[in-house]
Amino acid sequence: MGMSFGSYTEVCNTVALVVCPLLGTSMGLEPICYSRNVEINSTVIFQPATCVIHIAALVMTAVMVYHIRSKYTAVGRKEIVLFFYLYAVSEILAIFLDSAIIPTYSGAYSWFSAIYVGLNTAIFWCLLVNGFVGFQFAEDGTPMSLWSLRISSLVVFLVTAFVAIATFKGIAGMSPKSQMGLFIVQFLFPIICVAVYVLSQIVLVLRTLDDRWPLGDIIFGVGFYVAGLVLMFAFSADICNGVKHYIDGTFFGVLCMLLSVMMVYKYWDSITKEDLEFSVGSKINVWEVKDPLLGSDADMVASSTSHSGGKGSFSAY
């Protein structure tokens, strides 16, 4: 596939993206090969296999968020969990858009597509900012750290969503045929964010950690991300024709993105440790009994021995 910078024509001829029906002519842009649809209760569902991966992504995200929130004293816990929340919301939207539960001819489709594009860009921005949390430019978990991340992610989301809807509706000099702005925010900006995040984490591991194993998580994460892009934008049509339209490159793109997100969690988990002294988890051994009416087992044994020997007294209140 030959991709022209700033143009979705070749991209949408290869893979069925959410934005493709809203670009080009009034009929939109369609891929030359896409996965077959299924009919459930008189409702046609597009990309059924890809929707299964979206649902699996939601389940895995819930598991990862649970484990992140259970690490009460880990560095950057509150910051990284926003990344996973944004990813979960984008996956929910993707289920409705990829499957065409929200029809492409509906007026709401363009607005939800713009929100989806904005969320995806905000996800990568949130990842980039999280890459600098470990350097402690601002203490993690503080209002300054949290609100700078939230507000900047919101700004990126709003700007990207505006560029998307302006492209779909032909506003502010953009149009379905003039796609440069949308191309930059949807493709170029995320790649830059990933590159900056990876470089910052390599520096963090080499300068501050004795263990080099987290570099493996970074390598696998980048590998899955690159593989997803290649399978989607280079081999989608070949995959689709090879498996007789059962799946296409979108399936592998979504799957590889899920694996990349899982490696982000694995990397964060490997470089953060809990301070058990201040942990409030379900570890009963960290609690110390302070009630003077309750003594240790040794004290109870000594008291019983003394009483049985007639040299002590036992008072009941």
Q: What is the pLDDT, as a whole number, of residue 115?
A: 97
Q: What is the pLDDT, as a whole number, of residue 274?
A: 60
Q: What is the pLDDT, as a whole number, of residue 100?
A: 85
86 in a structural domain? yes
Instruction: State the Cα–Cα distance between residues 167 and 18, nearest whole angstrom.
Output: 14
CATH number for the domain spanning 51: value is 1.20.1070.10
Average pLDDT of span 299-307: 45
User: Hunting for tokens 């002590």 — which residue is that?
Assistant: 312
- 3-state secondary structure (DSSP) of residue 4: coil
36 in a structural domain? yes
Average pLDDT of span 312-317: 37
Other CB atoms within 10 A of residue 235 CB: 17
Residue 200's pLDDT band, with cuts at 50, 70 and 90, is: very high
Does 280 score more than 50 pLDDT? no
Does 281 score more than 60 pLDDT? no
Please provide the size of the chain in residues. Answer: 317
Q: What is the pLDDT, as a whole number, of residue 286?
A: 39
Which residue range forms the structural domain that includes residue 136?
13-278
Domain count for the chain: 1
Give the amino acid at 242: G
Does 302 score more than 60 pLDDT? no
Average pLDDT of span 45-57: 92
Please state which of the ranges 1-5, 75-79, 244-248 shows the lowest mean pLDDT: 1-5
More confident: 88 or 37: 88
Q: Which two tokens stand for residue 120?
A: 């995806």
Q: What is the pLDDT, as a whole number, of residue 288?
A: 42
Find out whether 236 and 47 touch, Cβ atoms under 8 Å.
Answer: no
8 in a structural domain? no
Please state which of the ranges 57-71, 175-189, 219-233, 283-297 shows the lowest mean pLDDT: 283-297
Please state which of the ranges 82-86, 135-139, 183-187 shows the lowest mean pLDDT: 135-139
- 3-state secondary structure (DSSP) of residue 77: helix
87 in a structural domain? yes
Instruction: State the Cα–Cα distance between residues 277 and 257, nearest whole angstrom.
Output: 36
| pLDDT (tens digit per residue) in 62-104 | 999 999 999 888 888 999 999 999 999 999 999 999 988 899 8
Instruction: State the Cα–Cα distance between residues 248 and 196, nearest whole angstrom.
Output: 30
Please state which of the ranges 23-32, 49-58, 211-220, 292-301 shows the lowest mean pLDDT: 292-301
Sign of CA dihedral 96, 99, 104, 110: positive
Please state which of the ranges 40-49, 72-81, 184-193, 259-268 shows the lowest mean pLDDT: 40-49
Q: What is the pLDDT, as a whole number, of residue 278?
A: 43
| Residue 236 vs residues 99, 113, 158, 230, 245: alpha-carbon distances, Å | 18, 21, 30, 9, 10
Q: What is the pLDDT, as a whole number, of residue 272?
A: 87
Q: What is the CA radius of gyration of the chain?
A: 27
273 in a structural domain? yes
Residue 161's pLDDT band, with cuts at 50, 70 and 90, is: very high
pTM: 0.84
Q: What is the pLDDT, as a whole number, of residue 4?
A: 79
User: Average pLDDT over the chain, rounded to whole?
Assistant: 85
295 in a structural domain? no
317 in a structural domain? no
304 in a structural domain? no
